[in-house]
A and B are shown apart, each in its own frame.
Chain A
Amino acid sequence: MTRIGPEQMDDLALGAAVLGTGGGGDPHIGKLTAMAAMRRHGEVTMIGLDELGDDDLVVPAAMMGAPTVMVEKLPRGDEIVGAFQGLNAYLGRPVTAVTPIEAGGLNSTTPFVVAATLGLPLVDADGMGRAFPELQMVTPTLHGIAATPMAIGDEKGNSAILNTCDNLWTERIARTMTIQMGGVAFIALYAMSGSQARQALVPGTVSLAIQLGAAIRGARRAKRDPIDAVLAITGGRRLFNGKIVDVQRRTERGFARGDAIFRGLGTDEGHELQIRFQNENLIALRDGEVAATVPDLITVLDAESGEPITTETLRYGFRVVVIGMPCAEAWRSEAGLALVGPRAFGYDVEYRPL
């Protein structure tokens, strides 16, 4: 168990953005909201998965929606607690711990708001080990854990409880409601027991994110290469060195979809990289050949500072390094690839692990 306070939120947000693979929303806003909650209610106790009892009731909490909307329509602040308590009331038993469902991006910080406000422990784990665009794309789905009952709410006081026949339907209905609510919603879902959580969740993602953030900031202070620091911790490698020369974006059914083209610099002079994304970076093609795909992590970092760049902030002229990092083992199974491999996103390519 560790105590986490507002001063670690900078590291968490930064590291979570690396794991966010371009998506996951802007952690900056989430960070500020979490810090405010912790300043008001006190520090958060973070526990490891192994510290959960069998009969604990663990409920993940998150925001969902289009990142392009999230950067505009900031939360009121208490919506996530409202959703969480809505589910708690529906379940009829006390929830004993909160956890991220997605530690990549904004949703690394969201559960801290719940933990601080309600005085609950936060589990050092998540359902992805990164970020993914759709609700069913989590490791609990691989273990047959239902996303519903699920609570969803917005800043206007609209709230609902969903019960669906499978997790894909959860995503479909929740996404429609999110769009109707204006593009952003707050959710509590995948209620599970301690033993289910231990079995199904990816361990240690929150502390990993904090570690990454601290390493990047430490490297900057020591004038060392922050990207090397990231690669050392994650076991990843550089995919491309270049400059952004084109970005095409459109919002489709609540997702920011598009392509980014990079022209090579330095050792990659004369080469081109293309990244296709759906909120998160999905596939990287170097000169037309597949260099990396989901479920492995593809993240674009500022070449100088190592700052992760989200898909909605990609802009012409940025000088970047694109890195690839291996995904959590759970995703490499047949079921995992069926859920989040390249084919699940419509790319007819074979997954080759980084």
Chain B
Amino acid sequence: MAKELRTLTVEDIRALEIGAAILGTGGGGNPYIGRLRTEQLLKAGRTLSVLPLEALDDDDLVAGVGGIGAPVVGIEKIERGDECLQAMRAVERATGRQAAAVISCEIGGANSMEPMITGAQAGLPVVDGDGMGRAFPELQMCTFFIYGLKPAPAAIADEKDNSVVFTGTQDMFWLERLSRATAVDMGATAGYALPPMRGEFVRRVAVPGTVTQAIDLGYAVLLARRKKRNPVEAILKACDGVLLFEGKIVDVNRRLARGFAVGRATLHGLGADAGATLAIDLQNENLIAIRDGTPIATVPDLICMVDLESGQPITTEVLRYGLRVAVLGLPCHPLLSAPEALAVIGPRAFGYDLEYRPLRGSRG
């Protein structure tokens, strides 16, 4: 494995927290606690290193890790700290083979931090990439599974030394169902580890460079704040995104359905968008943006909401009347818009009778 490792600092982690929440498109959970834990590890002298995707060798085994469970429980029952590591070890015991690197399945939100923590604890680098480039409500919606990763053996582990290795699952939906039910038993938070993936596979199907991207977006916001410049512009300069809408939230309609926060936020335009209305349909994450009745952006493209003044990412839980926000659209990576991916994460997969039309980014 080529050793072009980048070592992360405390400041990098703070930037990651912001950028990951932007890429979270409203969902993914709050990375705050994960950031605190990652900082603790750094302060205790552990090293966090990031490995470029291309530097993976064909036969390196990569472990996808993350947290599973209810975000509202996560703010009360904070982790023992090594739940994901234990899950990874359980998979290693079941397969007899060890991971050489870890990777995030979902860079958007709290699961940007878990692989950092596991990597630091296990002394393994984190791959610069992830399985979504954003956040999604369900585990099967990551590129690893979409592009053929068999759902077993995967594992979950809790803070009481309980672990379950799923040695056989009929399909991905069974893995999601069994692991979520078990996680609820464990107290609605647990760490998970995906089946080990060969480096060759990960190079092919991981969304590349997303750790760096999240850090860059975070720095764009932090620096803009420090220099009292417009953070929304700074974010747009740092990525391929476009400003979809600037407005004030005038209505938030949210209910619980099948364990997800489902609903719609309505915005009235400000500035250049005065007079227009934007509606955003959500299922934890923002799914569809509809301007004056016409859809202008849909999954799998990213619809990100940030505070107009501070650039602070806005998650579903804090949506309320009166917030002044910028709605940004980031085109997704081509891996997410291929036909086999759209079947799982396109508008139709979420129940919308809409054709996916790719968003045009600022870089064309």
Contacts and interface: CB of A to CB of B under 8 A. Distances in A.
On whether A and B touch (CB less than 8 Å), the answer reads yes
Interface stretch (A7-15, A47-55, A162-170, A244-252): A162-170
A177 B90 contact: no
A176 interface: yes
Interface stretch (A137-145, A150-158, A233-241, A346-354): A150-158
Given A163-B90, A180-B178, A158 B168 contact: yes
A158 B94 contact: no
Contact of B181 (A156, A164, A169, A180): A180
Contacts of A176: 181-182, 184-185
A314 interface: no
Interface in B156-182: 160-170, 174, 177-178, 181-182
Contacts of B186: 173
Contacts of B169: 157-159
Contacts of A169: 160, 162
B162 A173 contact: yes
Interface string A171-189: 0110011011100000000
Contact of A153 (B90, B163, B168, B184): B168
Contacts of B166: 158-160
Contacts of A156: 170, 174
A345 interface: no
A30 B77 CA distance: 44
Interface in B171-219: 174, 177-178, 181-182, 184-186
A164 B158 CA distance: 10
Given A157-B168, A158-B169, A165 B161 contact: yes
A161 B182 CA distance: 12
A86 interface: yes
B303 to A, nearest CB: 33
Nearest to A179: B181
Contacts of A158: 166, 168-170, 174, 178
Contact of B165 (A161, A179, A181): A161
A90 interface: yes
Contacts of A157: 168-170
A153 B167 CA distance: 9
A177 B177 CA distance: 9
A173 B164 contact: yes
Indicate the member of A160, A162, A164, A177 with the most B CB atoms within 10 Å.
Answer: A160
Nearest to B160: A165
A161 B164 contact: yes
Nearest to A175: B185
A134 B161 CA distance: 21
A160 B167 contact: yes
A133 to B, nearest CB: 17
Contacts of A179: 181
Contacts of A181: 178
Contact of B167 (A86, A172, A173): A86
Contacts of B161: 163-165
B162 A180 contact: no
Indicate the member of B90, B160, B163, B174 with the most A CB atoms within 10 Å.
Answer: B163
A90 B94 contact: yes
Indicate the member of B165, B184, B186 with the most A CB atoms within 10 Å.
Answer: B165
* Shortest beta-carbon contacts, A-B, top 6: A159-B168, A165-B161, A161-B165, A164-B162, A156-B170, A165-B160
22 contacts: A156-B174, A157-B168, A158-B168, A158-B170, A158-B178, A159-B169, A160-B164, A160-B166, A160-B178, A161-B94, A161-B167, A163-B162, A163-B163, A165-B160, A165-B162, A169-B162, A173-B164, A173-B186, A176-B184, A176-B185, A177-B181, A181-B178
Interface of A: 86, 90, 151, 153, 156-165, 169, 172-173, 176-177, 179-181
Interface of B: 90, 94, 160-170, 174, 177-178, 181-182, 184-186
Given A159-B167, A173-B182, 4 more contacts: A157-B168, A162-B162, A176-B181, A176-B185
